[in-house]
């Protein structure tokens, strides 16, 4: 809309300039929010808007991150987290349910177990006389674009004094085939020069052929392996993931593998570069030892907070309030 992002549906819609701009905006929002006056200003710029958080798949961090982001901007929120509390129990289609939301709210943020559902809803609403922005907060095993944005933001802040994200080596470890966070982030990393991605997983959970084809198309180097300890000293960032066994029933049962081979232990800190980082989209189970948490290279708790700021920046940009935030930042000499 007017050259600005309207829906946020998939990682492929972002270009390098957008990533740089939204990360810059998130940095400025962090600075503004350090003062009471700054928080009051941020809370005033969208206090006439309302958002529906339609989360029919379990979520803690993403839900609360978006809820907090809306609060920072003064947006009033409502939520549906269980379709049993909606008219879907009466036989209403999910599409009709969300279209109803669009008549009450100015923004729909959704997490759904069905791949491409957010895209379908966005296209449906665009054909009505009352289109509203749709943000994909996770769709099936397919996409998680705002997680990818916060991951890029975390990488950028972590490598600020090392020339930025370009020319870095990133390892993805664990359940890669079903990891929508991995899929989205891998696509965004193709926008940076001379990257190399390592996909470390047992064969049943290795990265999908569609992602490999995407990397080939965008001329991004990669390596597929199951040797985690060999990769650790080579990379600048390790992106750990959990075994996503919530999909096992749909896929016909659990695959018996030694997941311990793909876990980051305290002893692995000696193998990791002194300026390397460890990331995780969370929640974790046993794939990162809690003994690692106190190491300054453990970036996953910083990721959580980064997610709130990048989502504030995204929502402000969707509603074309990004320039107002930049003007406030400059006028207050922050």
Active site residues: 61-62, 90, 111, 144
Distance CA 56, CA 275 (A): 39
Say if residues 52 and 27 touch (Cβ distance below 8 Å).
no
Over the Cα atoms of the chain, what is R_g?
20
17 contacts: CB under 8 Å, gap ≥ 6: none
Say if residues 185 and 239 touch (Cβ distance below 8 Å).
yes
3-class secondary-structure state, position 50: strand
Q: Which of 172, 329, 134, 142 is nearest to 264 (CA)?
A: 172
Residue 330 CB-density burial (10 A; 0-12 exposed, 13-18 middle, 19+ buried): exposed
* Tokens matching residue 245: 């066994």
């Amino acid at each position: 809309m007017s050259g600005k992002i309207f829906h946020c549906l998939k990682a492929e819609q972002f270009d390098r300039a957008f990533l740089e701009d939204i990360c810059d905006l998130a940095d400025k929002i962090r600075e503004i929010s350090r003062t009471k006056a700054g928080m009051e200003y941020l809370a005033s710029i969208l206090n006439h808007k309302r958002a529906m958080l339609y989360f029919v798949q379990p979520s803690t961090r993403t839900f609360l991150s978006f809820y907090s982001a809306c609060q920072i901007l003064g947006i009033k929120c409502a939520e549906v987290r269980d379709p049993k509390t909606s008219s879907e129990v009466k036989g209403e289609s999910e599409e009709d349910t969300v279209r109803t939301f669009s008549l009450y709210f100015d923004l729909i943020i959704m997490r759904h177990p069905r791949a491409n559902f957010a895209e379908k809803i966005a296209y449906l609403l665009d054909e009505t006389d009352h289109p509203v922005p749709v943000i994909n907060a996770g769709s099936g095993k397919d996409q998680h674009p705002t997680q990818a944005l916060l991951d890029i933001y975390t990488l950028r802040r972590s490598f600020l004094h090392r020339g930025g994200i370009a020319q870095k080596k990133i390892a993805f470890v664990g359940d890669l085939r079903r990891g929508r966070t991995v899929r989205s982030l891998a696509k965004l990393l193709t926008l940076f020069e001379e990257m190399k991605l390592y996909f470390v997983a047992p064969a049943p959970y290795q990265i999908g052929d569609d992602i490999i084809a995407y990397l080939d198309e965008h001329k991004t180097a990669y390596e597929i392996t199951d040797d985690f300890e060999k990769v650790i000293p080579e990379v600048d960032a390790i992106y750990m993931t959990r075994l996503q066994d919530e999909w096992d029933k749909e896929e016909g049962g659990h695959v018996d593998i030694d997941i311990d081979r793909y876990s980051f232990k305290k002893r692995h800190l000696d193998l990791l570069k002194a300026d390397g980082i460890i990331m995780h989209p969370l929640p974790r189970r046993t794939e990162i030892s809690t003994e690692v948490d106190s190491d300054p290279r453990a970036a996953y708790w910083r990721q959580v907070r980064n997610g709130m700021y990048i989502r504030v920046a995204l929502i402000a940009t969707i509603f074309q309030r990004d320039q107002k935030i930049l003007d406030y930042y400059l006028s207050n000499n922050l």
